[in-house]
């Protein structure tokens, strides 16, 4: 077990954001949480990262985590190389490896604002993975990207995880994305977020829309979200 939540709840003052979530994530799993906008998905990730403490319940986490944000998680005053080096504890050999793995070597001395949105997310991914932490938390990491870049980034994420496995909790509001890359999908209710449904997906990540079980899974999630 990598991560376990027991009746976790969180309130922002009088506002109940998350309520009684029970969840278990196994080592190496890629769990995707989907839910309507503003349901508390990012708050859930902040709880998993330890940036917030639950108001109720308990979170058990084995090992450390890194979070990848939608946009703006990179330090704009550092170059690509320096940002990744922060994650890699300044191990220059490891930084070089990650630059190569994510095809960023020729942009190593660029600053984040000089990169495209997709490239910035690749740097975020490199920085998070270079840390060799066990748990990767991804907060709608590709939602600010255009459709084609988003698809390419999903593919790259799956390929990178195949090479360097990690446990991933991935938050999105995109049903297609959830079904395409997840091992398991957790459907959250509108605020306060609770687990409305857990859905195991067929083996193999980066599924094509025509792959067995994909359309059915999308249909089930859509119904659960009341769309």
Partner 1 sequence: MPRVVLPLVTGLLLLAAWWIASAAGAFPPGTVPSPPTVALAFREELANGRLVADTFASLYRVAWGYLVAVVLAVPLGLVVGRHARTRAALLPWINFFRSLSPIAWIPFAIIWFGIGDPPAIFIIFIATLFQIALAAAGAAASVPSVYYRVAEDLGLGGAAVAFRVTLPAIMPQLVTALRVAIGVAWMVVVAAEMIAVQSGLGYLIVDARNGLRMDLVVCGMITIGAIGIGLDALFARLARIPSVRWGFER
Q: Is 199 helix (H, G, I), strand (E, B) or coil?
A: strand
Q: Which one of 78, 108, 115, 214 is in contact with partner 1 (CB under 8 A)? A: 78
Alpha helices by DSSP H, listed for the chain, are 41-49, 80-87, 92-101, 117-130, 147-163, 175-181, 214-224
Q: Which one of 38, 60, 75, 116 is in contact with partner 1 (CB under 8 A)? A: 75
Distance CA 49, CA 83 (A): 20
Q: Which one of 24, 27, 46, 108 is in contact with partner 1 (CB under 8 A)? A: 46
Q: Which is nearer to partner 1, 124 or 224 (CB)?
A: 124
Distance CA 9, CA 29 (A): 23
Which of the ranges 8-16, 21-29, 109-117, 144-152 carries the binding residues for partner 1, by CB under 8 A? 109-117
Distance CA 82, CA 92 (A): 10
Least distance CB 142 / partner 1 (angstroms): 16
Q: Are 2 and 25 in contact (CB under 8 A)?
A: yes
Is residue 195 close enough to count as binding partner 1 by CB under 8 A?
Answer: no
Q: Which one of 43, 67, 167, 180 is in contact with partner 1 (CB under 8 A)? A: 67
In this structure, what token pair is assigned to residue 22?
């029970």
Question: Where on the chain is the footprint of partner 1 (CB under 8 A)?
Answer: 46, 49-51, 64-67, 69, 72-73, 75-78, 86-87, 111-113, 131
């Amino acid at each position: 077990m990598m991560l376990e939540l027991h009746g976790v709840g969180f309130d922002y003052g009088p506002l109940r954001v998350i309520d009684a979530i029970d969840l278990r994530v196994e080592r190496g799993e890629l769990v995707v949480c989907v839910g309507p906008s503003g349901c508390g998905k990012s708050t859930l990730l902040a709880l998993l990262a330890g940036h917030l403490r639950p108001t109720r319940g308990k979170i058990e986490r084995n090992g450390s985590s890194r979070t990848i944000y939608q946009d703006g998680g990179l330090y704009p005053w550092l170059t690509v190389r320096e940002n990744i080096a922060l994650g890699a504890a300044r191990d220059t050999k490891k930084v070089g490896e990650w630059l190569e793995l994510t095809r960023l070597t020729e942009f190593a001395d660029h600053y984040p604002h000089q990169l495209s949105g997709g490239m910035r997310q690749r740097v975020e991914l490199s920085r998070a993975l270079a840390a060799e932490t066990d748990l990767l938390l991804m907060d709608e990491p590709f939602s600010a990207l255009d459709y084609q870049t988003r698809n390419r980034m999903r593919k790259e994420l799956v390929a990178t995880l195949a090479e360097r496995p990690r446990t991933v909790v991935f938050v999105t509001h995109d049903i297609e994305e959830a079904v395409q890359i997840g091992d398991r999908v957790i459907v959250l209710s509108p605020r306060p977020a609770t687990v409305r449904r857990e859905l195991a997906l067929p083996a193999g990540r980066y599924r094509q829309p025509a792959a067995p079980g994909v359309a059915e899974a999308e249909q089930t999630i859509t119904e659960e979200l009341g769309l």
